[in-house]
Amino acid sequence: MTDKAQVVIIGGGATGTGILRDLALRGISAVLVEQGDLAHGTSSRFHGLLHSGGRYAVKDKEAARECIEENLILCRIAPSCIEPIGGLFVEMQGDDPEYTEKWVSACAEAGINAEETDVQEVLKSNPALSSNITRAFKVPDCAVDGFRILWGNVNSARKHGAKVITYSKVTKIHQENGSVTGVELLNKLTGEKKTIECEMVVNAAGAWAGEVAAMVGLEVNVIKDKGTLLAFNHRMMNKIVNRLRPPGDGDIFVPHGTITILGTTSQTVDSADANKPERQEVLDLLKIGKEMVPEIENFRLVRAFAGVRPLYQPGSSATGRSVSRGFALLDHQQMDGLNGFVSIVGGKFTTFRLMAERTADLVAEKLAVDAPCRTAQEPLTDPVPEELLKRGKKVFGIPGAKKAAERLGDDFARVIEEAEQNAEKRQVFCECEMVSRAEIDFVARDEDCHTLGDIRRKTRMGMGTCQGTFCGYRTLGALNKYEKFARSHREYLSVFLQKRWKGIRPVLWGQQLREAQLALGIYCSLFGMERMK
Amino acid sequence: MNKTNELALDNCIKCSICVTHCPVAKVTDKFAGPKQNGPDLERFRLEEPLAVHPSIEYCSNCKNCEVACPSGVSISTMNCRAKGEYVAKNGAPLRDRLLANVELMGDFARLMPGLVNWGGKVKLFRELAERIFNISADMTLPQYASKTFYELYRENKPPVSAKKVVYFPGCYVTYNTPEVGLALVKVMAHNGVEVLVEEFNCCGVPLIANGLLADAKNNARNNMRKLEKYIDAGYQIVTSCPSCNLALRREYGELFDMEKAHRLAEQVIDVFEYLQVLAENGELKTDFKHLSLTVGYHQPCHLKAVGCGVPSKGILDLVPGVEVNDLDAGCCGLSGSYGFKKEKYAISQEIGRQLFQAVKKKGLNRVITECGMCQLQIHHGTGAEVYHPIQVLAEAYGLGSDIK
Amino acid sequence: MMNKKADVLVIGAGLSGLMAAAKAVEQGKKVLLVAKGMGALGLSSGCIDLWGYDIDQPDQVCSRPLQEIDKLIQVNPHHPYARVRDVLEESLDFFRKICAENGSPYLENEGGNWLLPTALGTMRPTYLVPASMAVKSLEEADKILVVGFKGLKDFYPDVLVANLQRNAELKPSCKLEPVLVEVGSEELKPAALAHRLERGEIIDKIVQQVKPLLSPGAVVLFPPVLGSSGGAGMAGRLADELGCPVYEVSNIPPALPGDRLQKTLLHHLKTRGVEVIIGSTVTTAHLEGNRCVKVTVRCLSGTMTISARVFVLATGSFLGGGLEADIEGIKESIFNLPVQIGAEEWSVQEFLDLKGQPFNKFGIAVNDHLQPVDESGQVLVKNLMVTGANLAGCNYPIEKCGNGVALATGYKAGKLVEVVHGE
């Protein structure tokens, strides 16, 4: 099979999907190719923090400025993906008061609104925090849902004619006479091969960017930096809390929907797939987190997870056009004489749109398209109409409707309709995260949805307290009518449970150990699944 | 324990035992069970306090969820607070305000108890009440006594003794069954204990059950004011009603975070617990007469929730000729005002069916139970005579003539 | 503070605690049973698993569980069964007698294991089963009809059918058919469904929808919702109406068979005069020398103490709350007894590892009188016996022996109250 497009983007993370949308809005035909599910990599394995820039204010003013600008843009264009809960920077006993002063003036210079606030007030509304806080400042940090932003990008791009191909690995990049001419794909689920002819390839593979560049014999030096994070069972505070000191490990708490995330560690690893959280990392994080939340051990951890951050380091052989200290856009025509190949590396989630804009500018220039970037103005998701929300509340309850509306965006209307027509679909399948059968069923029908894990990422099914023990089984049952989910129940369910287990194991004590014993009671004692065929 | 985790939210492992043991969810689909508005939505309420599912209206506040929970989660408290949020936002119907305001009803009824009791039996009035207020026309209304317990107490003051306790009679004894209160005073006097009383307010449980938390807290404050001097002086505060007992021992601290609630909890005691202590110290009089009485025993849900077991059992076992059969048939279904509501009457009766059947199957025409509302419901469902165990004890001491 | 007194205090309302109380009260003791909550028995299959698979050939279902346990004791003398082998048969008889007396008979399969279908379509071995679950000769069925309910979100007949075909030995000509019956409700909870069946409201509806699908030689499988109390009454009634055998299969919680067993045994205890307090947590033990004199109990409404002559610790493993793990380590929650770990890691990488997760084996070591002992075999608390999932050395989810160990150890503790008190 052969397809055609002007541009092929490799990598379905925030940057890749951002580029896809940007190009689509400029009228450039593009296909995005992703080796797994969208957002399975670093874009779903971070804090979920939309930086105000405060964290970088002292060390890197340019990055700080980029952050606050992008923060304001995203809040405007994607309000349904963002919880504008605000952040705090807290100075604690023993922290350097001079750094605080430096930080305050740095924020002012970068245009970050940092306002000092009463410590007693902060402690009153956030009783989990330590009374050793000496000063506190409010900043416009937000909690952001990486999945939703990505899906917003993809849905918007699709509306403008773009295509996404998931679970497909690029096996070869064709070149003729010093120019890229196409890519060859292998579908990891079906084994099918496919070729896409194109004029340009954008390497937005993040931590995998080096491997992609190697396919055309080039070197892109990406440092793979593993960061482990912890997810707590409930909201421990109502604002994002950063430690006011030079950025280090484990000094940010982000309350995110029903949970709280604490992170992160930093460790150079060999492989982009090295995302297995280790118990020692968990213990390290807790030790640091304890300074800000003294009773941290009494809060239940539901799991640990890790992402691999791609940090760009210009190699000796490559002198990239460093468009910012945060990220780099590599024009391989200029650098290596290969036409039609561009790499975008480094950066952070908060600035994904800017990275996409710069990349698309370069691509457009090369394709001689002079349409301007519109991603800073065009809303990424339309707000869900009040009337729909009201209908939603009737079938899913207040939080169920609100969360589903945020996740589904435009598709919310269709899910509501199905639930209204079919009472059975109103059942709450994931009781921890309030995900309805209607939503799961809808998402499962998506052509890019192949595993229980895909459904989980798109809905939060299985991301709550029980970590999929109950809802995984239910979802399997309800989806049996779709052939793609009926092939091997044993495989679908055990792969799902195994992936949950990977994150549970490093935090296996207290209530999570009880939960695990219950899960084994169900799947081994009641079902004998360990011997299932 | 940390503040945000005080209800042991993190302990929930989603096992659903609470749902299996919910008597309401068993008989109706209208209630999703205690887990939904308990630990499930509690996680959402930390972000959005209004995250309450409307099915909360069907929670009867029986607390079986919390008793059954193997993880120590304060499920019932979460549900009570959620209902409070819901009512605060959406308001409560006048009917609920009336039914929950037990004192107001009692004070009104005592103006002309005969007329009220008569009116409560006239079908036409009941149908009117059902149409206007949605108060079930089928449920037997409590009978109001011609004199309140407080009036009768003043007329029959017990002899002064060095050993004193304070009695918190609760509304049902005050207005409807003052004879239970009198039996208690006599039994205690017989054992050399002087019972003091104060005109307390309703403990607040009916208000809590209807989501009227601010009113309930007000009652709690008033009662605390009246109890304070007794707490400070180290008096034990005796109850005969399990719901009042639970309110004083638990809700004032857990729901209302009241100062001194902890000390109050330590000093509140069920009358039979008190008698058990006497018995253990060899101070309980055992001059019982032979009664030849066979009764069924129903353990009220709120007594289960108090967690002191069945204190009346040990004492009644001492009375010759009394045979107590544990009915062990679950919730009676009335749950205070719950079963009087038109839309919940059928649910309430359906919950109680198992208990009614147990009474009938054993061929019992006398039943004992500590809770006034359970007494009413069992009588309504079976026609059996229902007494408070203290009345049996008074009878055994030759102090009463209530048992027919 | 209130103090209660008893001859025997049983802590825990799971199977082992209930058995201990039943056996102790039979000997005329004043028994008090206190439990934190309704515990793991209600979450279990309601069947008594004794021993599931052949020790030498772990992929073979074991045909003679009692004999296999003899073998087990030879190769693993630290398994809890080694402490109770002397009473195993009589404990099973005692259990069956109580259940039968209370209208919930449990059936044996001629000394062998039953091999029963689950909601997932797997086949699980078990030893004693409630009559409603005792599926006989599935391999001879000409048709297996699996009935689910529209609105019951935890049971999917088509999943059961799809996997039963792979996991059970059936006649090649056997037809499997799933059906979802409608009983007029959008969301059904198992307890509510059971209640409606008992009220007779929906039996006609079910029969109308199921009967036309039956053919000679058919067997009908239902989710475990056929009635809220024990006994095969409802399954039997449906079988009569449908004219073919009707059974329940085991399913995830909230499922009723475990709950029914718990209710049956609790009812038995209450009618025998055992005082039962559920919802109250025993927090601390008070020892004088190496004897326990009383315990402190935290109720919903405050604290009290209970003194007794003999104590039975039946608080379960982590799930039940008998063992508590924090980042630092694991402790037994009331007596602070030493917990035997005997593994380097608490868990292994594969969730469904065939050897099981090590943490399930953690627990208390005991002697033949079920008294807790230290490493040298010295008794730590003389008038205390430890039972059920509290005990070290058994990986019940994999070995399929959870309720069996609970039953036998609970029974033995109840039997030994006099002996242990005299020591």
User: Are residues A520 and C397, on separate chains, in Cβ contact within 8 Å?
Assistant: yes
Among B59, B90, B121, residue at a domain's last position: B90
Residue B346 lies in a domain: yes
Tally helices (H) and strands (E) across chain B: 24, 8
Residues with Cβ within 8 Å of residue C333, at least 6 apart in sequence: C315, C321, C322, C323, C324
CA–CA separation, C298 and A70 (whole Å):
54
Q: Which one of 3.30.470.30, 3.90.1150.10, 1.10.3720.10, 3.50.50.60 gives the CATH number of domain C2-101+259-422?
A: 3.50.50.60
Domain count, chain B: 2
pLDDT for the residue numbered C300: 82
User: Are residues A398 and B50, on separate chains, in Cβ contact within 8 Å?
Assistant: yes
Judge whether B318 is closer than 8 Å to chain C, CB to CB: no
Q: Are B103 and B212 in contact (CB under 8 A)?
A: no
Per-residue tokens: C4: 């209660």
Q: Which residue of A has its CA nearest to C115?
A: A528
**Contact map slice: B 233-272 vs C, CB within 8 A:** 245-246, 249-250, 265-266, 268-269
Judge whether B304 is closer than 8 Å to chain C, CB to CB: yes
- Three-state DSSP at A122 gives helix
Q: What is the mean pLDDT of residues C61-80?
A: 96
Instruction: Look at strands C291-299 and C302-313 and give their pairing.
Output: antiparallel
pLDDT for the residue numbered B404: 82
Q: Which residue of A has its CA nearest to B73?
A: A511
pLDDT for the residue numbered C89: 98
User: Are residues B10 and A399, on separate chains, in Cβ contact within 8 Å?
Assistant: no
Q: Which residues of A touch B12 (CB under 8 A)?
A: 465
CB atoms within 10 A of CB C230: 26
Q: Rounded to the nearest 5°, which phi and psi values hold at B235?
A: -70, 150
Domain positions in chain C are 2-101+259-422, 136-248
List, in sequence order, every beta strand (DSSP E) within A118-269: 133-139, 142-144, 163-165, 168-176, 179-187, 193-197, 200-203, 222-232, 240-243, 252-256, 259-263, 267-269
Partnered with residue B75 across adjacent β-strands are none
Q: Which residue has the tokens 């609760």?
A: B170
CA–CA separation, A50 and A48 (whole Å):
7
Q: What is the mean pLDDT of residues C207-215?
A: 97
Residues with Cβ within 8 Å of residue C253, at least 6 apart in sequence: A522, B15, B16, B17, B20, C42, C43
Per-residue tokens: B191: 């054992």
Judge whether B8 is closer than 8 Å to chain C, CB to CB: no
CA–CA separation, A415 and A422 (whole Å):
11
CA distance A88 to chain B (A): 17
CA–CA separation, A381 and A371 (whole Å):
22
pLDDT for the residue numbered A315: 61
Reported as a pLDDT band with limits 50, 70 and 90, residue C201 is: confident
Angle subtended by helix axes B389-396 and B178-190, to nearest 10: 50
Q: What is the DSSP letter of B209?
A: H
Instruction: Look at strands C330-332 and C323-325 and give their pairing.
Output: antiparallel
Per-residue tokens: C203: 């039996």
Judge whether C25 is closer than 8 Å to chain B, CB to CB: no
Which of C393, C398, C360 is closest to C58 using CA atoms?
A: C398
Positions in chain A whose pLDDT score sits under 70: 1, 315-325
Residue B20 lies in a domain: yes
Chains with 3 or more CB pairs under 8 A to chain A: B, C
User: Which residue among B17, B21, B306 sits closest to C300, beta carbon to beta carbon?
Assistant: B306
User: Are residues C124 and A528, on separate chains, in Cβ contact within 8 Å?
Assistant: yes
Burial class (CB in 10 A: 0-12, 13-18, 19+), B118: exposed
User: Are residues A525 and C44, on separate chains, in Cβ contact within 8 Å?
Assistant: yes
Exposure of C415 in the CB half-sphere (CA atoms within 13 A): 18
Q: Are C228 and C201 in contact (CB under 8 A)?
A: no
User: Are residues A520 and C357, on separate chains, in Cβ contact within 8 Å?
Assistant: yes
Judge whether B36 is closer than 8 Å to chain A, CB to CB: yes
pLDDT for the residue numbered B5: 64
Residues with Cβ within 8 Å of residue A76, at least 6 apart in sequence: none
Residue B105 lies in a domain: no
pLDDT for the residue numbered C119: 97
The number of angstroms, rounded, from the C-alpha of A519 to the middle of its chain's C-alpha atoms is: 27
State the residue range of the domain holding B370: 286-396
Judge whether C422 is closer than 8 Å to chain B, CB to CB: no
Judge whether C11 is closer than 8 Å to chain B, CB to CB: no
pLDDT for the residue numbered A516: 98
pLDDT for the residue numbered A312: 85
Domains contained in chain A, CATH given: 2-42+147-221+313-367 (3.50.50.60), 79-143+226-307 (3.30.9.10), 386-531 (no CATH)
CA–CA separation, B350 and B343 (whole Å):
13
The C-alpha angle C134, C139, C144, rounded to 5 degrees, equals 75
Q: State the DSSP string of A256-289.
A: ETTEEEEE---EEES-TT-----HHHHHHHHHHH
User: Which residue among B5, B14, B53 sits closest to A432, beta carbon to beta carbon?
Assistant: B14
Judge whether C214 is closer than 8 Å to chain A, CB to CB: no
User: Which residue among B3, B14, B40 sits closest to A127, beta carbon to beta carbon?
Assistant: B3
Partnered with residue A241 across adjacent β-strands are A88, A253
Work out the end-to-end distance of chain A between its first and last CA atoms, rounded to an integer number of angstroms. Answer: 35
Positions in chain B whose pLDDT score sits under 50: 1-4
Tell me which of A125, A130, A145, A434 to substitute to probe the interface with B (most B C-beta atoms closer than 10 Å). A434
Instruction: Look at strands A200-203 and A341-346 and give their pairing.
Output: parallel
Judge whether C130 is closer than 8 Å to chain A, CB to CB: no
**Helix or strand holding residue A387 (H, E):** helix A386-396
CA–CA separation, C277 and C298 (whole Å):
11
pLDDT for the residue numbered B259: 85
The C-alpha angle C252, C258, C259, rounded to 5 degrees, equals 105
Provide CATH code, domain C136-248: 3.40.50
**Contact map slice: C 160-199 vs A, CB within 8 A:** 162-163, 166-167, 186-187
Residue B26 lies in a domain: yes
Query: Mind listing the pLDDT tens digit for each residue in B367-402?
Result: 999 999 999 999 999 999 999 999 999 999 999 888
Q: What is the mean pLDDT of residues C27-50?
A: 96
User: Are residues B46 and A469, on separate chains, in Cβ contact within 8 Å?
Assistant: no
User: Are residues B35 and A431, on separate chains, in Cβ contact within 8 Å?
Assistant: yes
Judge whether C363 is closer than 8 Å to chain B, CB to CB: no
Query: Mind listing the pLDDT tens digit for each residue in C247-304?
Result: 999 999 988 999 999 999 999 999 999 999 999 999 999 999 999 999 999 988 889 9
**Helix or strand holding residue B133 (H, E):** helix B123-133
Q: Which residue of B has its CA nearest to C272?
A: B326
Chains with 3 or more CB pairs under 8 A to chain B: A, C
Q: Domain containing B308 — which CATH number?
A: 3.40.50
Residue B152 lies in a domain: no
Tell me which of B1, B6, B11, B13 to substitute to probe the interface with A (most A C-beta atoms closer than 10 Å). B13
User: Are residues A235 and B40, on separate chains, in Cβ contact within 8 Å?
Assistant: no
Tell me which of C166, C352, C353, C395 to substitute to probe the interface with A (most A C-beta atoms closer than 10 Å). C352
Burial class (CB in 10 A: 0-12, 13-18, 19+), C157: buried
| Ramachandran category for residue A254: left, alpha or beta (phi over 0 → left; psi -120 to 50 → alpha) | beta
Residue B255 lies in a domain: no
Query: Mind listing the pLDDT tens digit for each residue in B108-160?
Result: 888 888 888 988 889 999 999 999 999 999 999 999 999 999 999 999 999 99
The number of angstroms, rounded, from the C-alpha of A451 to the middle of its chain's C-alpha atoms is: 18
pLDDT for the residue numbered C16: 98
Q: Are C174 and C193 in contact (CB under 8 A)?
A: no
**Contact map slice: C 283-322 vs B, CB within 8 A:** 297, 299-302, 304, 319-321
Q: Mapped to the 3 state alphabet, what secondary structure does B330-386 carry? A: CCCCCCCCHHHEHHHHHHHHHHHHHHHHHHHHCCCCEEECCCHHHHHHHHHHHCCEE
CA–CA separation, A287 and B55 (whole Å):
42
Which of A433, A483, A425 is closest to A459 using CA atoms?
A: A433
Number of cross-chain residue pairs from A and B with Cβ atoms under 8 Å apart: 83
User: Are residues B1 and A298, on separate chains, in Cβ contact within 8 Å?
Assistant: yes
**The dihedral sign for the CA sequence A357, A358, A359, A365:** positive
| Separation in Å, CA B353 to CA B334, B380, B381, B384, C112 | 11, 11, 8, 14, 41
Cis preceding-peptide flag for A350 (omega within 30 of 0): no
Exposure of A191 in the CB half-sphere (CA atoms within 13 A): 0
Among B90, B112, B135, residue at a domain's last position: B90
